[in-house]
Structure 1
Amino acid sequence: MTYSLHHQAEVLMDRYGVKVAARLSQGSAQLPHDISERLRVARLQAVAQRKRAPVVQSRLATSVSSSGGAAALTFGDEGWSIWSRMASVLPLVALVAGLVLINGIQNEDRANEVAEVDTALLTDDLPPAAYADSGFIQYLKSAAHRTASE
């Protein structure tokens, strides 16, 4: 889109230049020969200067690719050095490393919690088989209810 706007602007400038040149040519018919000759040389210099002007083209994207409902602007392969490739992969590597670290910490916390429960069961005066007895669980509930009501 930028290229077409730039191209349209140049076409309009060229048209304007042609119109100005036509008006100047009409007016130069009444001028003396030496002045018209200087104007002709100045025009030639201006045209030569216009031709020598460097063409500056901005390169926004070399290709537009679409997939599904999304479009992506890409810069092609010629602009990617090893450092720019590494810089583009670095956030992904940091994300994966962070997720692995979080997973390890959570696993360790879970193991510590299970170890605390196991330690509490094994160091208690009651044998672990008592917790599996349904009658004992009823006794604990009724004892807790009696303690709360007092």
Structure 2
Amino acid sequence: MKKSQTHTTALTAEMDLWGQTLAYQLDIASMDLGHDIGERLRVARQTALSSRPMPKKMLRHSLAVQANGTLSAQPDEGLNLWRILVSVLPLLALVTGLMLLQALQQDMSESDIALLDSALLLDELPPDAYTDPGFVQFLKIQIHQDTRHD
């Protein structure tokens, strides 16, 4: 197996050297041509390069599972509109959920305050009771017990 890899590498290196030599000879020969012939050759070269088929290495790389279990695909072609929307969607869901939780918690705290205020206004208490630090806790316990019995 190793012998065939070195043989293939040697053939590839030999072909590269042959291609570079041929390109150098073509460059030397094209120096004597006129400008219009040189431009037509350049356009023909570009047309030939754009119409050639994709190498098999590029076609084979469309989607593959690697040995370590990762999935590889073609490289990204940049962010398009759908990719941006899909990447922003989880962030939007998170922010919406947090805002909903905050509104719900604020509503619950406002309802607790309203229950305390109504309990204070409906009961007849001495003024000293309002200054007692444990009085608010006592009222909370009373309200929760009253709501359980109802």
TM-score norm. by structure 2 comes to: 0.41
Which structure is higher in RCO with an 8 Å CA cutoff and minimum separation 6?
Answer: 2
Instruction: Select the structure of larger CA radius of gyration.
Output: 1
TM-score norm. by structure 1 comes to: 0.41
